[in-house]
Structure 1
Amino acid sequence: MPLRSLPPAHRPLADALALGPALLERARSSAAPWIAASLVEGPAVVLGAAQRAGRVVDLAACAARGAPVLRRATTGTAAFLGGRGVVWTLALPHAAALAPDAAARTLLNRNVRGFLRGFARAGAPAHYAGREWISLQHRPAALLGVDVAQDGAVLLEVLAGHDAPPAIPAELAAPDERAVDRWLGKAPAALAEVVPARVSPEALAGVVVEAVALRAGLPLADGGGAPELAVERFQPITAPDDPAPAGAGAAAVARVPIGWIEAAAVGGSSPGHAWLGGDVLTARWLLDALGRGEAPASLDTAAAPLDGAGLADLRALVQRALSAERAPER
């Protein structure tokens, strides 16, 4: 079985993000892994799939700077692209497609290894200590996002800025975002600071793709033409409560190891239902199921990654949001 790839290419940021769902569908239909590298241009902020925009960024400040705020298909934390950058997209038909010992809860640890090898081959020793970022030359430099569908298909995205570090600048960040030390006291780096100058972003994109195949012991095969992209799903965000549904109540927010989680009651035809989101690295279907209040026995949590918060944290926040909605006004 080969690792099918699209050649590294310059793409609008919305197109690069739309590659995620498109390659995930190809991985399903072909029962084979797919990878692509997109060379993109900022400035822009790329939110995780479940992050409420107004908690992470000041949308007015982003607009004034000319930095659109977009959302990717994978969960996790936000990345800033201050100029040139690279987005790697890896889609797998199942968790163990590249690493036979990988399971949902070890998904990132196993599948990030090819990326580490690629950065090292490009001259930037890389390490992964867990959670949401890869360090190059001992500095955080590449951000991870993940999603797992209920059928087991996996989407992994790696985002790195060439000209600016991935941290959201303080003047663009919301107060809750500024309150979190996302980099554990380390100064995040732009690729230009940690990758040798002789290695262009274009070259780095290709080296990493080749290393992912090499680490998996799979031949790299040309995937042919680019898929049709649903770019309308990846247009700039203008509403601070996005992606909470219209009519959701006030958000209940809780601090967790990865940053923040939040929930908001959703009224209408679904009593006892809440939108659940935040910075956690997990499957979107799991957040949706917990928001619906499904009983623990009905959730196959072993099929979903969960990093940065625990199930108990998520359930407690849903109950808090629903209790606040039911509380009588005084």
Structure 2
Amino acid sequence: MRSLPPAHRPLADALALGPALLARARMTPAAPWLAASLVEGPAVVLGAAQRAGRVVDLSACAARGAPVFRRSTTGTAAFLGGRGVLWTLALPHVAALAPDATARTLLNRNVRGFLRGFARAGAPAHYFGREWISLQHRPAALLGVDAAEDGAVLLEVLAGHDAPLAIPAELAAPDERAVDRWLGKAPAALSEVLPARCSPEALARAVVEEVALRAGLPLSDGGGAPELEVERFQPVTAPDDPAPPGAGPAVLARVPIGWIEAAALGGAPARAWLGGDVLTAGWLLDALGRGADPASLDTGAAPLEGASLSDLRALALRALSADGVSDVLQTSRAEPLHWMATWKARAARKR
């Protein structure tokens, strides 16, 4: 496994490591890449497909001096209130670290080294199938994921040392405040759940070493940081970002992970921008927005957590329908409850 030594990096540079290391992993099929970045806020970090104005109040963030950035991995947003650590793991294929991993079990298999690293640093860690890792039984690290069509995978793990990752209520948009992101638990800062002697630097190193050890791979120095495309990670300033200019009104659907959303785009053939809180591959969202039938897609390399293909396709079609562009689509109440029962069953099996 090739690694970049833990280093202090501006948040924009740390986020730019994601696509840069993914490109390197695709060029060297036998070598996963791993980096740990020591970052600082205040800042909000959005998932790749989250519409900014649905998640945060941009004016409130500006007033607080907390820029809003967008990472290249999908998933939910995090608040970085002070010091934190961002781990960037790029895999040439889904089973590069865990031979039995599939797109469906990608997160479950690949968080195990991170769990061991947190435990080694002094905080028992668990993962129960959500978009976050629990330390000392409290949500403390957020996961993000992306995948290329050729099967290469990018996984990011973000943890706040000085403040929990939950977006403060005064910065959150109403739709974000309506979701219980943490299943009734109080998110924790690393400083609350790790021994006082454990610095962010020590934690960063411990996790890197345990990820490699868990995979049975030696660590080798990857050299200097790859050329960074920092321009792709400038602060977000438009409420509808990342929906393209000219997109129609957003249509929302409540799903287990929070929200998915879609907006009709002009032109022919008809297509939709598709996004939200779901953990999946960007190319899959694009394909469904273009109207692709899920049955025609090779989804074997595409992770998908928090919603189903049918959820996503139905919302894209709803956004394109003449009578659906101004409505909010709600899934049935039974669906989240069914998902909750499944999550509890998974948690019981883990214990």
TM interval, shorter chain, is: over 0.9
The 5 A counterparts of 1:1-330 are 3-31=1-29, 32-268=31-267, 270-324=268-322
Structure 1 residue 92, shift from structure 2 partner: 0.3
The answer to whether the 8 Å contact 1:249/1:325 transfers is no
Structure 1 residue 131, shift from structure 2 partner: 2.4
Structure 1 residue 28, shift from structure 2 partner: 1.0
The answer to whether the 8 Å contact 2:272/2:290 transfers is yes
Distance 1:271 1:65 in 2: 43
Q: 1:327 to 1:284 in 2, by over 3 A?
A: closer
Residues 279-307 of structure 1: per-residue CA shift (max 9 Å, x gap): 00001100000000012332112221111
The answer to whether the 8 Å contact 2:150/2:301 transfers is no
Residues 33-79 of structure 1: per-residue CA shift (max 9 Å, x gap): 00000000100000000000000000000000000000000000001
Counterpart residue identity of residue 36, structure 2: A
Counterpart residue identity of residue 127, structure 2: Y
Distance 2:294 2:70 in 1: 29
The answer to whether the 8 Å contact 2:263/2:325 transfers is no
Distance 2:64 2:240 in 1: 21
The answer to whether the 8 Å contact 2:133/2:141 transfers is yes
The answer to whether the 8 Å contact 1:93/1:154 transfers is yes
Residues 126-162 of structure 1: per-residue CA shift (max 9 Å, x gap): 0000120000000000000000100100000000000
State the superposition RMSD in angstroms.
1.2
Distance 1:215 1:325 in 2: 52
Counterpart residue identity of residue 300, structure 1: D
Distance 2:325 2:11 in 1: 43
Structure 1 residue 326, shift from structure 2 partner: 8.4
Distance 1:291 1:303 in 2: 18
Counterpart residue identity of residue 194, structure 2: V
Moved more, 85-94 or 25-34: 25-34
TM-score, normalising length from structure 2?
0.91
Structure 1 residue 325, shift from structure 2 partner: 7.0
Distance 1:192 1:296 in 2: 44
Distance 2:33 2:118 in 1: 19
The answer to whether the 8 Å contact 1:50/1:278 transfers is yes
The alignment partner of 1:232 has SS state of: helix
Distance 2:94 2:325 in 1: 42
Structure 1 residue 271, shift from structure 2 partner: 2.7
Q: 1:151 to 1:279 in 2, by over 3 A?
A: same
The answer to whether the 8 Å contact 1:70/1:234 transfers is yes
Structure 1 spans left out of the alignment, 5+ residues: none
Distance 2:25 2:278 in 1: 24
Structure 2 spans left out of the alignment, 5+ residues: 327-351
The answer to whether the 8 Å contact 1:262/1:317 transfers is yes
Structure 1 residue 327, shift from structure 2 partner: 7.9
Distance 1:72 1:254 in 2: 23
Distance 1:36 1:107 in 2: 19
The answer to whether the 8 Å contact 1:139/1:187 transfers is yes
The answer to whether the 8 Å contact 2:47/2:74 transfers is yes
The alignment partner of 1:183 has SS state of: coil
The answer to whether the 8 Å contact 1:265/1:325 transfers is no
The alignment partner of 2:227 has SS state of: coil
Distance 2:104 2:300 in 1: 7
